[in-house]
Amino acid sequence: MIVMANRFTAIATAALAVAVTLPAGAAHADPTPVSPDTATPPAACDATRTPPSYTGEVPTPRSVLGFDLGEREVTTAESDTLLAAVDTASARVVSGTLATSAQGRPLRYAIVGTPKNIRSLPAIEAAIKTLRSPLTPEPAARALARRTPAILWVAGNIHGGEESGTDAALKTLYDLAGRDDCAARRILDNAVVVILPTQNPDGREADTRRNAYAFDMNRDWFARTQPETDGKIEMLRKYPPQLFIDAHEMGGTEYFFPPNADPIYHDIAEPTVSWINDVYGASMIAEFTRRGIPFFNRDVYDLFYMGYGDTVPVTGFNAAGMTFEKGGSSPIAARTFEQWLTQWVSLSAAADRRAEILTTWAGMHREAFKQGLAGQLEPNKVYNPGNEVITQVPDRRVRHYFLRADDRTKKAETEQIVRRLQRMDVQVFRLTRPLTVRDFKAYGRPEARTALPAGTYWIPMAQGQKHWVQAMLNEDTYTPFPYFYDVTAWSLPLLANVSGGSSGSVLLPAAAPVKPVAAPSGRITTSRKIGVLQLAGPAQAANESTGWLRHRLDRDWKLPYEVLAPADVAAGRLAGLDVLLVPDGPAATGNTALGDAGRTALREWVAAGGRYVGWAGGTQLAVLAGVSGVTLAEPTSDVPGSLFRTTVSQSPLGAGVGPDVMTFYAYDLVMRAADPSHAVVPYPAPDSPGWFVSGFAMGAEELGGTAAVVDEPVGAGHAVLFAADPNFRAFTDGTAKLVANAITADLPSTRAKAQAPAPDAARAAAAVPDRESPIRITVPAARKAEVAEILTGYGATWTEQPAPGGAVRFVVANPSGLSADEHPWAARLPAALRTANITPLAVTLPH
């Protein structure tokens, strides 16, 4: 066995070497010496107490904008103007555009360093690429680290209404370009700093959290559905960071910086957490304590979901990815200063340790390769006192992932996964001969001897991107701690409903590297006329779900559509439409806006042959309006955002989907069809072989036998209803195919044109709970009174529900649909529970 393992090591190394192109003579190359090693700064040179000294060569912000940074928030245009002016005046700066927003605004960046480092950027790129390769010998990496600058990123304003990160980033740019004191020189001598003042120019101009398609782009990082995200990550690949700062705002006036709250994703390189907590976190704690500035950490903001601007730099680039949050109730001057302070302190701490950081960074890639060879997954840990791991990573070797490519109906979805992996520098191969795997574990199935055909995609774990491979191809995220700032499942094959699995065996497959995969076309065609009913304008759920749908229709499917408001339905604008898509949103508000005339028009349109396709709030509206006879009930389970295998019946809705599909579910209402035969996609029985959940789920057995999707005949038309959003964040491609089929498929003909019966308004209203992104806290029943006291202190209103195991759940009203960042006190709830010594079973803050 040792011989086989050694042979596998040699072959895996050789295979990776084919796919990784290193600069000629990289092991010994000198990328033109770019900076001295100044790991020990002069004792008198304090990062923040050194008086700034400006050269006078760079124009001041006031001379360019007419006001000082921090005097008021800059506009996107003013930010671009100042960045360009600094670039023009300084040999330390080069700038460009890394993406264009949906509304056509540029995402402008600047790279700042010594003039020599700026001239040597191609050589620095090559050196960093060499350090990132796990094939670079340790002595060569150590020598290269001593003469290569670190790459440090500062990014702001991913949420458009959180402005001060931009203003502070511009202040950091101005100081690095224009100062000549020892504190500025120390950063410049040891790093090149990439500054992206605003990641969301459309949202900044509209003063909204989300972008023009209503995406929260701090949830989009792994999927890269938005051009702003995609261009940014391509730039990160060009200049891989050792530090990435993501500057946000939150409610209140305090400041958050790491250490983070639990949970923290298990398969990340441990040195990154040490950097975050013990280098940068410790430096900021010392500085803020010295200045008496209020701050907190180890609360609220976790490091788990792979859509954030900290988790992706950590897992995908082995960087210290950090979320900074400044309370938005402070004046802009205070917000700008404190954001600048955390940026400057962090950059200075990195500069002080440049050679050490780069050496460790290179070592992380070598260690990842070794872990992959051994099939070793990192275990779950908790990092904060008093917390305990609730789920451990299984003790099973994982050396390989495989994606089946023999289902031609899923070619586009499979190629999309491969493309996403390749565009994070993952090496993907394709079997050139069939391979028998004795311990193949298909997703959600037991291990079994399996013959994989030629053409199957093979992703070995033995590569520098091992952590990212596990994060993207996992069967489960093994949530270590029951606090949920966001969702708990995101595996690419499960989201896309692509068959695949893993193996822990030592295998020597005959395979060839896969050339870069082009973006697959998702275009669909239909002669049907499509309408989109938006239930409420600015409401978060309606705005997001409708935006995700518009993105899918515009960019992927390329289908024309007409957007309607409820008042348009009563005004007769359904005439001429064949399909009405009704995404999530506040159903009660939409029902009120429809009025009797709108409800009647909607029922008559469907009964006359129209096709109503709704999900979540859109399904609730169908019940309220009398279009559907499904029943809806509040869940008793705790499922903050997980993937469930559901069964797909043989019907036109299932064309190209397969016998089952992974359905994304997050506290959605439990749906039952009036006629069980209408449940075209049901949840299997919990004790059946088909039952499989990826992500956290407590009490989810209640879903067994209920309906995920219903196709209900209504007169001569159809109501196709989804309990949950099948197009969640536009990355649940598997269930999105069901929506495409609901638009294009010829569904079984129903009875002749008939008038749909008027609804029982009282029954319908009672059957459909009205909620908008509530806060949920599940605790043992014995702690009920104490939680109620905490919530009363916040002035909250809530309802109580039974929860699994005799527990109680508090569902706290959030009528404006605010996220945890925006809510006045939701972010502080976990700390309040901990102070009261209450160990919750689950805490879910609004996304």
Please report how many Cα atoms fall inside a 13 Å half-sphere around the Cα of residue 810, on the Cβ side: 27
CA distances for 351 relative to 187, 237, 276, 354, angstroms: 5, 21, 15, 5
Q: What one-character DSSP code corresponds to residue 134?
A: T
Contact yes or no for 195/79 (Cβ under 8 A):
no
CA 494/CA 500 separation, integer angstroms:
9
Distances in whole angstroms, Cα of residue 831 to Cα of each of 66, 352, 381, 484, 701: 43, 33, 20, 14, 31
Residue recorded with tokens 């190209």:
656
> Which residue, among 616, 815, 622, 574, has the nearest Cα to 724 in the 3D structure?
616
Residue given tokens 């809510």 in the structure block:
823
Residue 577 burial (10 A CB sphere; 0-12, 13-18, 19+): buried
Q: Is 825 helix (H, G, I), strand (E, B) or coil?
A: coil
**3-class SS at 722?**
strand
* Strands (DSSP E) found in 636-706: 642-647, 660-665, 670-672, 679-682, 693-694
Closest CA to 733 of 635, 658, 819: 658
Alpha-carbon gap, residue 420 to 363, rounded angstroms: 25
Residues 6+ apart with CB under 8 A from 320: 242, 243, 244, 272, 275, 276, 279, 280, 313, 314, 350
DSSP secondary structure, 85-103, as one string: HHHHH-TTEEEEEEEE-TT
Angle at 599 between CA 595 and CA 605, to 5 degrees: 145
CA 163 remoteness from chain centre: 21
Report d(CA 223, CA 225) in Å as an integer: 6
The amino acid present at 701, given as its one-letter code, is E
Q: Which residues pair with 97 in a beta bridge?
A: 108
* Furthest CA-CA distance within the chain: 88
The answer to whether 280 and 324 have CB atoms below 8 angstroms apart is no
Q: Which two tokens stand for residue 351?
A: 């500069």
Instruction: Tell me the catalytic residues.
Output: 338
* Rg of the chain in Å (alpha carbons): 27
Q: For every residue of 313-341, which 3-state class applies, written as one string?
A: HHHHHCCEEEEEEEECCCCHHHHHHHHHH
Strands 631-633 and 611-615, how do they pair?
A: unpaired
Give the Cα separation of 725 and 643 in Å (integer).
Answer: 12
Burial of 446 (0-12, 13-18, 19+ CB in 10 A): exposed
Alpha carbon 673 to its chain centroid, in Å, reads 33
Structure tokens at 306: 């792979």
Write the DSSP string, 590-640: HHHHHHHHHHHHHHHHHHTT-EEEEETHHHHHHHHTTS---EEE---SB-S
Dist. CA 470–CA 502, nearest whole Å: 10
Alpha-carbon distance 59 to 84, whole Å? 11
